[in-house]
Structure 1
Amino acid sequence: MENAQPPLLPPTAQRRRHAVTLKLLFIALLVLVLQLPLALINGLRQERSGNREAAHARRAADVQWTETDPVPAYSPARAAAEGYRMVERSLKHSVLVLTLVFAAFFLFETLAGLRLHAVHYGLVGAALCLFYLALLALGEVLSPGSAYIGAAVASSLLIVGYSISILHSYARAGSIAALLAAEHSVLYVVLRMEDFALLAGTTALFVVLAAVMFFTRNVDWFAQEAGKTEARA
């Protein structure tokens, strides 16, 4: 008795399946490509940090300090050094930040039947990269906390304002705003909790993965109609 051949997917379903796969591959590639400008930002951080340390050393050599002189608890040089360290540590989480934001747009595109172009993802990624550049620039003139808040607000407003147009909904843009607020808040806590950074980051990853599993549990990834999803019974 001949073995029964598995049923073939209709052409529309096959195209839909290939489109989803290609979009996921594109997002992964985009995350990797965006590491190039982030590497340039990190190089700029190292250069400016080295220049500032050299200038501080020259000024310290011109001033004769004694052991009885009080050491200032706060100084612009110390604040800038803390800002540089915050930029360095935040860049280590850039892959996670980019992936989560792109995943949110991909889920909206899949669940709501929207069509987002590669340019849309690229511009959102550019806005996310500007967060790190703004954090570096503001960290030289503000305290690390104020610099982080300013950079996060500026980048988030840029992305949310753009999301209103490409997602065609204030509610969806509000969801992106909530995601960015939660993401930057968790990242700030992780950056400040040096002793428990790994634990906090791992916990956040579990929460994010659980949320993605929950919201996509009924998605039919083999939906036959392009741009639509069907709930399993």
Structure 2
Amino acid sequence: MEVTNEIYKEPKYTMHWLGSQTLYVLGISIVLALIASGLDGFALGRQESGLLAGNGYEYVSQSITYCFAVIAITSMSLMLIEVAFRKGINYLQYGLIGCALCLFNLLLLAMAEKMSFWIAYVVVSIMTIALISCFVMGLTKKKKAAFLSTIILGVEYGLILVLVYMGSMALLIGSLSLFILIAVAMYFTLKLKVENEELVLK
């Protein structure tokens, strides 16, 4: 009788994993967005103290409103990267990435007190994107995964900067952007297949 030495591995990326991971991502996005929203009052106090000049408060406040979307979209993108490259990212690491995205708003407020808002925004965006991309590179050991993270975050922060400066057009552009985002998400979910009880991106 032939004896096999193969060890059966439980499928990790299952539909159950997808459901629980999505709930975790949404939960942590809500919590961190609520924490970030507390910065709005803090920013108002800084403006009243004369530390935040011009339209600084208005711009910072608007950028804070997009915090939930940035954390949720980035985290869900990381879920797809995790499935595509078969490299596990644990809950703590998802939480740390969410914290870095949340910290963006505090850094933006601090730097907007010392320089023009758009310069502060670009500097903090580059810092945050570089930090998260390097972290993803360390987690996955894949340059392509880090590159995808850079592109996703770059598009998100670029779009937010445009929305902040668009004023009355922000709602229209934001709504159209969400429509495109949902279409892209639908496309990628069509590529999610279940093979041997495990999700694969094909």
Listed one character per residue, the Cα deviations across residues 37-75 of structure 1 (whole Å, up to 9, x for unaligned) are 3133223212212222xxxxxxxxxxxxxxxxxxxxxxx
What's the CA shift string for 1:117-153, capped at 9, x where partnerless? 0011111111111211111011111111111111111
Query: Counterpart in 1 of 2:196?
Result: 224
How far did residue 198 of structure 1 move? Answer: 0.6
Point out the structure with max Rg over C-alpha: 1
DSSP-derived class of the 2:49 partner: helix
Identity %: 26
Partner secondary structure for residue 33 of structure 1: helix
SS at match of 1:81: coil
Partner of 2:76: 103
Q: What is the alpha-carbon distance in structure 1 between the residues aligned to residue 13 and residue 61 of structure 2?
A: 42
The within-5 A match list for 1:1-233 is 16-52=14-50, 80-220=53-193, 222-226=194-198, 228-229=199-200
Check conservation: 1:109, 1:116, Cα contact below 8 A: yes
Higher mean C-alpha deviation, range 143-152 or range 12-21? 12-21
Runs of 4+ residues over 6 Å off in structure 1: none
Contact 1:16–1:224, Cα closer than 8 Å, also in 2:
no
Change beyond 3 A, Cα 1:165–1:50: same
Measure the CA separation in 1 of the matches of 2:135 and 2:142.
11
Query: Which blocks of at least 5 consecutive residues in structure 1 are unaligned?
Result: 1-11, 53-76
Change (3 A) 1:51 1:208: same
Structure 2 gap ranges (5+): 1-9
For these two proteins, the number of residue pairs brought into alignment is 193
* TM-score for the superposition, normalised by structure 2: 0.87
TM-score, normalising length: structure 1: 0.76
The SS at the match of 2:14 is helix
